[in-house]
Amino acid sequence: MKKLQNSPETLLMDELQGYARLHRDKICLLEETTCIARRTPKARGKVKLAMGNGAGHEPAVIGWVGEGMFDLNVVGDVFTAPSGDKIFEGLQAIDDGSPILLIVQNHAGDVLNANIAMRKAKKAGMNIRQVLFYDDIASAPREAQEERRGIGGMFFYTKMVGAMAEAGADIDSCIRMFERVRENTRTYAAAFSSCTHPLTGIRMFEYLDGTENIELGMGVHGEGGGENIIPMPTAAQLAEKMGSALLSDRPYTPGDRLLIDINGAGATTCMEMNIFYNELEKYFLAQGMEIAGAVAGNFLTTQELSGISLSICKVDSEMLSLWEAPCRCGIMSR
């Protein structure tokens, strides 16, 4: 796979500098760091949202930094969580005494390094709390949902909690909303083909290449979801299979209002996502669900991985209002 870059050694900073220049009206690259922060900070006293994650998943989550979303993203090396020291340095850079909510993806490296950063931040006297997100139904059974991976459904958490923080809600209210969204969010993903590591050029996995098969339940690095390999279905068949798996997990019931997030994995085309959504909406409506809103796009990618993840969130009027609230970041302005 050909990659447009200068060298592996400069790849990360080249990307972050380019992104900062593209979106200089919304964000900035903090000096001598790999941290993307809001160009105009929130008023002192408002809750700030922060997260650390590995590069290679863009626009997640550098593209989610801005008004109404994240205040800070600490970026690690490709597919590698940033160290606890790096996260702490980023937190120090935005600390003005305001409450900080550190949002952590439920993967071992992310959790380990976030915990290190939290200890350092508390020792330094920061007003900081931490929350953990998980939504991937393929990675653990429902009775052990706290062991599940965090993947595409985090877009719902970020948008709704970000809107609350922007409006001036206190940190306890933000955490309660985070937990409410987490309880009502589920994600299921499918991989159609492999991707390559941008630093090494090595394929991440090869068992689907050259076949007509797909794998259900992949993670954000293309890792498998329990060897659930099936022949390539039609869009209607895949919509029913993924939709029914999500509805049966919570469970959701007829009359529930759902937000839908169709996330391309990097190589999935707009045409494919439109066709998939068309079948998905028909399926959910036939099950008695109401569609409160939907988005489709490459929000959380894994380089040129071909695949799709489907996230749904049951919402009430307050949650829907937060979802529809204004925001201004790289991937969304409303």
260 SS3 class: strand
- For 211, the token pair is 């076949």
CA distance 52 to 73: 6
Q: What share of the chain is helix, strand, coil (3-state, %, to 5)?
A: 35, 25, 40
What is the CB-side half-sphere exposure of residue 224 using CA atoms within 13 A? Answer: 11
Q: Active site includes 23?
A: no
Q: Do residues 89 and 63 lie in contact, with contact meaning Cβ atoms separated by under 8 Å?
A: no
Ramachandran quadrant class, 97 (left: phi over 0; alpha: psi -120 to 50; beta: rest): left
Q: Do residues 111 and 98 lie in contact, with contact meaning Cβ atoms separated by under 8 Å?
A: no
Q: Where are the beta strands (DSSP E) in the chain?
A: 27-29, 35-38, 48-55, 66-67, 72-78, 100-105, 128-133, 185-191, 213-216, 228-231, 257-264, 290-297, 307-314, 328-329
C-alpha of 16 from chain center:
18
Q: Active site includes 57?
A: yes
116 by Cβ neighbours in 10 Å (0-12 / 13-18 / 19+) ranks as middle
Helix (H) or strand (E) holding 162, with range, is helix 154-167
Q: Do residues 181 and 156 lie in contact, with contact meaning Cβ atoms separated by under 8 Å?
A: yes
Annotated catalytic residue, options 23, 107, 197, 221: 221
Active-site residue list: 57, 221
